[in-house]
Amino acid sequence: MFTRHRYPLHRLFAPVPVLIMLLGNGCDESPTGRAQVTLVPEAQMAALGQQSFEELLRTLPLNDDPHVRAYVGCVAQALVDALPEPHGTWSIAVFDDPTPNAFALPGGKIGVHTGMLGVARTPDQLAAVIGHEIGHVLADHANERLTQQLAVQGGLMLVDLFADEPGSFEHEALRKALGIGAEYGLLLPYSRTHEREADRIGRDLMADAGFDPRASIVLWRNMGAAGGGQPPAFLSTHPSHDNRMEELAEDMAQAVERYRQALAAGRKPSCSPP
């Protein structure tokens, strides 16, 4: 016995070729050679980054100490100057916030909380923080995450279209199962991948800028001491501090060599902590 679907076939299958086409056309490579899918145009990502940055400038207090701002700006600008390709103009803001946090947004926007200066205690350690955040931008991680979310929403849409009884217990259970599966099977693992990738990109960038890459390990030791307990690594969007330090140390020799080459070329930023 056949059951008649409550939706026409063209509506049931219309999203499938669209998603396949988008995913196929968005294939790219990250700076480390990892295959990735990014669907959102670069100009649109930059506009989203600008919009988010302007909102933060409106809602969060800015630090008014010129020495703090000059110090953070010195470290950040040295990293930007070491970027291998034309990088345009980057905006740097220091927010008066005690939480140890920093970020970089598409379109060249960098933000550092004053609380981070209590954890990143030297210019080299601060370079590890900002370099990591710049690494997220260089690898187009925000675009990749947005693309992943679009794919998850497309899957949920298909579940809704195929449902014999929309809103039923079985339908909602399936939606919830798909959402949880996507979160723990796709979004969180990719986020950990992004963090590891940004660690490596940032470490190499700080070395090229004349900051000692070995400070990245000290930084995460400080973060571990400041942050207390963490959730298990497989449930976290970030690798554990111990895992990060181990992975950063694995190929540290090549980063140190890049650092030595930068010093030999005269690249050693003079950024004085306040």
Q: So where are the chain's domains?
A: 9-264
91-95 and 109-113 beta bridge pairing: parallel
Q: Are 195 and 144 in contact (CB under 8 A)?
A: no
pLDDT, tens digit only, all 274 positions of the chain: 333 333 332 333 334 444 444 444 456 776 767 767 666 778 878 888 899 899 999 999 999 999 999 999 999 999 999 998 767 789 999 999 999 999 998 999 999 999 999 999 999 999 999 999 999 999 887 888 877 776 656 554 544 544 455 566 554 554 554 454 444 444 454 577 888 899 899 999 999 999 999 999 999 888 877 765 554 443 345 566 667 777 778 889 999 999 999 999 999 999 999 8
A 10 A CB-CB count for 136 gives 22
Segments in the chain forming alpha helices (H): 9-13, 15-25, 42-59, 66-81, 123-138, 141-162, 169-182, 188-208, 215-227, 241-250, 252-264
Q: Measuring CA to CA, how many Å separate 24 from each of 21, 39, 68, 111?
A: 5, 9, 46, 34
Active-site choice (133, 144, 195, 197)? 133
- 241-250 and 215-227 helices cross at what angle (nearest 10)? 170
DSSP assignment of 254-267? HHHHHHHHHHHTT-
Asked whether 217 and 248 are in contact (CB, 8 A), the reply is yes
- Residue 144 annotated to the active site: no
Adjacent-strand bridge partners of 37: 27
CB-based burial, 41-51: b 16+ in 10 Å, e otherwise: eeeebbebbbe
Question: The tokens 């946090």 sit on which residue?
Answer: 101
* pTM for this prediction: 0.74
Phi/psi of residue 102, each to 5°? -155, 160
| Dihedrals phi, psi of 263, to nearest 5 degrees | -65, -40
| Measured distance CA(237)–CA(232) in Å, rounded | 10
SS3 111: strand
**252 contacts: CB under 8 Å, gap ≥ 6:** 203, 213, 214, 217
- In the prediction, which pLDDT does 49 show? 86
Question: Which alpha helices (DSSP H) does 163-227 contain, by range?
Answer: 169-182, 188-208, 215-227
